[in-house]
Structure 1
Amino acid sequence: MNGNGFLKFLLTVLILAVIYFGWVLTGALDRVRESNLRVLERLEQLQHTLTAPTPLVDWAPLPASAAPSGDNIANRQFFDPAAVPGGRLIQATSADTPNLNPLINNEATASEFHGLCVSSLAEPNYADPTEYQPLLAESWEISPDHKTYRIKLRRGVFWDPFTDPETGVKHGPKEVTAADFKFFVDVVKNPDVNCEAIRSYYQDLESVEIVNDFEFVVRWKVEYYGSRASTLGMSPLPRHFYHFYDGPFDGKRFNNDHRRNRMLIGCGPYRFVRWEKDRRVIFRRNPAYFGNALGAGPSLDYLVYEIIKHPNTRFQALLAGSLDQLGLTPDQWIQRTGGKEFTSGELKKYRYLLPQYTYIGYNLTRPFFQDKRVRQALTMLIDREKILRDIYFNLAKITTGPFFPDGPYADPSIQPWPYDPERAKRQLAEAGWRDTDGDGILEKDGVKFVFTMLQIATSPIQQKMMPLIKESLAGAGIDMKIENVEWSVYLQRLNQRRFDASCLGWASPFDPDMYQIWHSSQCDKPESSNYIGFRNAEADKLIEEMRRTFDRERRIAIAHAFARLIHEEQPYTFLFVPYSLVAQSGRYRNVRVFPVGMPVMPYWVPKQEQRAVPGL
């Protein structure tokens, strides 16, 4: 996923990558709730902090005459007519986000926050994510070749009122129109805007033609399978907020407008209240949301994201009632959920497998990683069965590639590379890596096999796993150093390609598009997801063919061929598909697990069990 609805759409619901890593592996996705799958993050650190405790968004009623048109709205059948308004949901995230602009920040949290505040044209059905249902779009028509989409917008949908952070001008509610969608596309296509991860999905979009305020036509240059998701997942972008000055739009100014990028102006189910830097981000139910009148509006008054870095501190906050929902680590799930809070039903546990995978990615510009025999050997030196047993407590599945193993795009005939140190040593020798000076370290052409693995400082899984991998590699003459870094630094290092190896995670979408992560054209783009520099002409050919193929069986066959190629090339050591392990207060009603995860929009709390947000 967009005003950034595309990120919201694919990250929040279709589970697209842009670059979020699996919370079980990294501890950085404790924030997964409605957006359960996120994509890998890459952005510069935000240099300014929000210090004012007062809201930056004005609260005002809509014009009395405003009434959304059309009564068809996505996922209405999953909302409880008996729900009562009020209450809160307080979650935890292990790291603060660089900024709140999801176009230039494709970090998972920014996309999730955006999805709360800004609706997209359509949304996948919770139970069947291949079915698209209307949100901002009242209806649409698609040409047989999927190159032309005619969109009819719902009327009576308004942008939030706000006070301009630079000029001080107050803006009242303004109706969302086709121009806001065209502005989104114009910004995404502007080469000065730092949004490579999103831009790759819109590179073949030819034009957005406005018919009138509430109708527009999206035209694609080529037949592209992802055009439906990219079009219907699109969200508007408020031009009156971002292009507030005279003259042409300035992409660099958009990137660097720190005051605006600390705000969210939306038209969705929640309104941004404030961001207390390094402490919490607060959202309040939008009384003017068009879905409220259609039976698909949220009931919870507040959604709060507390920033708590240490996993034990987060768990203690859950037990104390300061948090209402938390993604658990495997050891917490197994060893710490037997107390009275869980046995009494005060806290409930939810376990489900989601389409995401963790991996070790190798910087392919480094001399030690350029031979696939070496990359295969590295994978065979890692005892994934032991890690699965001792660190994940068997709450994950070993995976072989980028496709969800329980889905049709994965090739079940592909078996994981075995843990086989002797075979790995032979392959390293065949590739020319030998210990010629007897110091215990392999070398080739005068280069010692010494590299550094980035480790996320707040990840308990990595803290346990990396020493095991280091020891195993050392037995084969490879010196893997471990560098513990904060998340913001981690992002900068990836973005600048200043790393040897990293351990992260991606999502596995229901209808995957491998272009953003694997296509050679993305290698040299600083904001792209192909940060390891994978270049392969045959992979490019398969990716492009898959993008043009609408026949599902043919797409699956191409995906299987791509999976076999990636398995052989081994640019990643594919690790695990982890279970989502969620602990949540028993106060909540209408809690359900879907293929897209546990969407919080249908949650509600009986009046007598509702709690206020401390400090509000």
Structure 2
Amino acid sequence: MSRLGGWLAFALLVVLMVLLMVQIDRQWARMNDMTRIMQEQAEDIRRTRSLLRQLEHNLRNAQFESPTTRVVASERQKPDAFERVREAAEQTDYAAGDWLMLAFGSGIRTLTPLVSSDAYSSEVQNYVLESLLVRDPDTLDWSGLLAEDWVISSDGLTITFTLRRDVNFSDGVPLTAHDVQFTFDFIMNEIIAAPRHRAYLARIERVTALDDYHVEFVFNEPYFNSLQLAGSMSILPQHFYSKYIDDPRTFNESRGLLLGSGPYRMLDPENWTPDQGRIELERNPRYWGPVDPSFDRIVWRVIENDSARLTTFRNGDIDVYGARPREYQRLLDDSSLMERSSHFEYMSPTAGYNYIGWNQERAGEQTRFADIRVRRAMSMLTDVNRIIDEIFIGYAEPAVSPFSPRSPQHDPANQPIPFDLTRARELLTEAGYADRNGDGVLQDADGNNFEFEMTFFQDNEDTRRMVLFLRDLYARAGILMRPRPTEWSVMIDEYQQKDLDASHWAGPRVSR
């Protein structure tokens, strides 16, 4: 017994020593973080003193006001972009701190702005980058963010923004109108791999910094959405990204070049790589907003399997989980989980929509889907109502355009294409397809079977069920569809190269 007691005491001592070492490591990491932040704050103080000396010099020499600052601020009542944040911070149970743990359903190839093309990277960037304006989430009115005011010319061709004077990027460098001009010029530079952004901003003729805090957007023609176009452009720091003008290949192939003025920042804004398996943002200690960011850090883990992601949520290792419809019904019956979590049901105007992309050109040649009759027939064979009822258990609605049916941009004249097997067969016959050998499969005029692959993200169970359901529907019309589960990164590559037959996607919902 004495020997056993000695071993137990020794084991207990070892455990205590390990716990003590872990605690010391945590404290040491915390002290390193505090030291780093204090050094940054000291640099900020020195920079502020320099700015104050310059301001005093300008006042003595009566050079404070430039001609462009004589633009009279508008009388409009502008919504407060931080109203909701203020209200949350005033709640009695509000407490800042802790880490927010989240999960992505697939890995991210790059976090670099402009180069990235997926929704996950955009989610991360939204915490780091900021735009001149944002929309009020309740009224959809514009609120000033980096811009405190703006004036639109009578002909609608010019918008002049007045920038806030208290905004710094997360590395302490002030954000000015020159960064706004640089961002536009950088995007429009053909050597930068940003074709989608260039196409989006093509209506803007030029962007000019009038001085440090006034920037002018000039459009080449009147455009109803010009304020959205100018105000929503994420502003990049010139001092950080300008070096890549001479080295575009490094930028275009980069994985983690992300620095901005937002409430959070990358721990290392230049060296993140996908093989790290997670993305971690820390609170920006220089953030200019009136309320400090809530969490000390935001962390995303990559958990591609839906079931594994749910298990991680059940175990409390991630804080938020977007449940699939069937999962949600089961989770509501889990009393222990419901006691320690909150759940919400809502039809989001920005939640996106599922759609099938029919590739009309592959390897430089037109595919069968280039024929509008074939595409319309495939839409008529896709029984959307049954998909909603049987796959999504009613938690969906037919999408008839990129706009939410509850937005003012929705045209009520647009109606869903109905499921119509008879009319679909007629259209396919008109396009030259028929069962020429009696095997139940349609062939074209050359005797080739109407068959194709449906590419879809392999780790989404709802999508898998949907594609299998569609396979059976299409078979009733004599069409052979082969499901092709694929990794997300491979899907993106094949989409960009047009190297696929058809593919299922979840697209963005546009709500202006």
Counterpart residue identity of residue 303, structure 2:
I
Give the letter for the 1:466 counterpart.
Answer: V
Report matched runs for 1:137-216 at 5 Å. 137-161=147-171, 173-216=172-215
Q: Which amino acid aligns with 1:415?
A: Q
Residue identity in the other structure for 1:205? I
Pairing 1:408-487 to 2, within 5 Å after superposition: 408-446=408-446, 447-487=448-488
Shift of 1:91: 1.1
AA partner of residue 149 (structure 1): I
Alpha carbon RMSD of aligned pairs, Å? 2.5
Q: Please give the residue correspondences for 1:320-339 in structure 2 after superposition, counting only pairs within 5 Å.
A: 320-339=315-334
Provide the residue aligned with 1:382 in structure 2.
382
Alpha-carbon offset, residue 77 of structure 1:
4.5
Query: 1:40-71, CA deviations, whole angstroms, 9 ceiling, x for partnerless residues?
Result: xxxxxxxxxxxxxx99xx74225233899x99
The answer on whether the counterparts of 2:331 and 2:337 sit within 8 Å (CA) in structure 1 is no
Give the alignment of 1:64-75 within 5 angstroms. Answer: 64=45, 65=48, 73-75=80-82
Distance 1:218 1:120 in 2: 14
Which residue identity lines up with residue 262 of structure 2 in the other structure?
G
- Provide the rounded CA distance (Å) in 2 between the counterparts of 1:93 and 1:309: 7
Amino acid at match of 1:152: T
Aligned-pair CA distance for 1:319: 1.1
Displacement, 1:278?
A: 5.4
Deviation at 1:362, TM superposition (A): 0.6
1:118 maps to amino acid: L
Tell me which amino acid in the other structure corresponds to 1:219.
V
Specify the alignment match of 2:335 in structure 1: 340
What is the alpha-carbon distance in structure 1 between the residues aligned to residue 282 and residue 155 of structure 2? Answer: 42
Report SS of the residue matched to 2:343. strand
Alignment of 1:245-256 (within 5 A): 249-256=246-253
Give the 3 Å change call, closer, same or farther, for CA 81–470 of structure 1 in structure 2: closer
User: Is the CA contact 2:79–2:142 (under 8 Å) kept in the aligned structure 1?
Assistant: no
Tell me if the contact between 1:122 and 1:232 (Cα under 8 Å) persists in the aligned partners: yes
Between the two structures, name the one with larger relative contact order (CA 8 Å, sep ≥ 6).
1
Q: Deviations over 1:346-378 (max 9, x none)?
A: 111111112322111111234322332222221
C-alpha spacing 1:150/1:286, structure 2 compared with 1 (3 Å): same
For 1:372, the aligned partner's letter is I
Residue identity matched to 2:212: D
Cα distance, 1:414 vs. partner? 3.7
Deviation at 1:123, TM superposition (A): 1.1
- Greater mean alpha carbon deviation, residues 139-148 or residues 176-185: 139-148
For residues 151 and 417 of structure 1, the distance between their equivalents in structure 2, rounded to whole angstroms, comes to 44
- Partner SS, residue 148 of structure 2: strand
Contact 1:334 1:393 in 2 (8 A): no
Q: Secondary structure at the match of 1:149?
A: strand
Q: 2 CA distance for matches of 1:370 and 1:176? A: 48
The aligned runs of 1:156-555 (5 Å cut-off) are 156-161=166-171, 173-244=172-243, 249-256=246-253, 258=254, 261-273=255-267, 275=272, 277=275, 279-291=277-289, 294-295=290-291, 297-344=292-339, 346-355=340-349, 356-365=352-361, 366-446=366-446, 447-511=448-512
Q: Deviation at 1:73? A: 5.0
SS of 1:406's equivalent in the other structure is coil
Question: Are residues 249 and 139 of structure 1, via their aligned partners in 2, closer, same or farther at CA, if it must alter by over 3 Å?
Answer: farther
The 1-side partners of 2:418 and 2:510 are apart by 26
Q: Decide whether the 8 Å contact of 1:87 with 1:301 is kept in 2.
A: yes
SS in 2 for 1:243: helix
> Does 2:151 align with 1:132?
no
Q: Tell me if structure 1 keeps the 8 A contact 2:402–2:510.
A: no
Residue 481 of structure 1, CA deviation: 1.4
Matches within 5 A, 1:96-115: 96-115=107-126
From the superposition, tell whether residues 86 and 415 of structure 1 become closer, same or farther in structure 2 (CA, over 3 Å): same
Note the alpha carbon deviations across 1:243-284, whole angstroms, 9 max, x for none. 237xx644334212x2xx414212111111265735211111
For 2:26, the equivalent position in structure 1 comes to none
1:263–1:272: 8 Å Cα contact kept in structure 2? no
Query: Residue 61 of structure 2 aligns with which residue?
Result: none
Greater helix share, 1 or 2?
2
What whole-Å deviation, never above 9, does each CA across 1:285-331 have from its counterpart, x for those lacking one? 1121000xx24x32221111111111111111111110111111111
Deviations 1:78-112 (A, max 9, x none): 42343432122211111111111121112112222
Deviation per CA, 1:555-606: give whole Å up to 9, x if none: xxxxxxxxxxxxxxxxxxxxxxxxxxxxxxxxxxxxxxxxxxxxxxxxxxxx
Partner SS state of residue 482, structure 1: strand
Number of residue pairs aligned between Structure 1 and Structure 2: 435
- Taking structure 1 as reference, are residues 357 and 416 closer, same or farther at Cα in structure 2, changes over 3 Å only? same
Aligned-pair identity (%):
30
The farther-off stretch of 73-82 and 264-273 is 73-82
Give 2:196's aligned amino acid. A
Q: CA deviation at 1:477?
A: 1.2
What is the letter of the counterpart of residue 389 of structure 2?
A: R
CA gap of 1:233–1:495, structure 2 versus 1, over 3 A, is same
Residue in 2 that maps onto 1:11: none
| Structure 1 contact 100–263 (Cα < 8 Å) conserved | yes
After superposition, the Cα gap between the structure-2 partners of 1:177 and 1:249, relative to the gap in structure 1 and judged at 3 Å, is farther
Deviates more, 1:179-188 or 1:272-281: 272-281
Deviation string, structure 1 residues 378-431 (Cα, Å, up to 9, x no partner): 122222222212210111012223321222333334432222223322221122
Is contact 1:278-1:307 (8 Å) kept?
no
Deviation at 1:142, TM superposition (A): 1.3
Larger radius of gyration: 2
Q: In structure 2, what residue type is equivalent to 1:459?
A: N
**How has the CA–CA distance of structure 1 residues 255 and 423 changed in structure 2, closer, same or farther, with 3 Å as cutoff?**
same
Equivalent position SS for 1:444 = coil
Q: Distance in 1 between the 2:248 and 2:221 partners?
A: 27
The 3 A distance-change label for structure 1 pair 140 and 497 is same
SS in 2 for 1:398: coil
> Please, what TM-score do these two structures have when normalized by structure 1?
0.67
Q: For residues 121 and 429 of structure 1, do their structure 2 counterparts lie closer, same or farther at Cα, with a shift above 3 Å needed?
A: same
Could you tell me whether the CA contact under 8 Å between 1:72 and 1:138 is conserved in 2?
A: no
SS of the residue 1:206 aligns to: strand
The residue type equivalent to 2:144 in the other structure is: P
The aligned residue for residue 4 of structure 1 is: none
Distance 1:119 1:414 in 2: 35
Segments of structure 2 that go 5 or more residues without pairing to the other structure are 1-31, 53-72
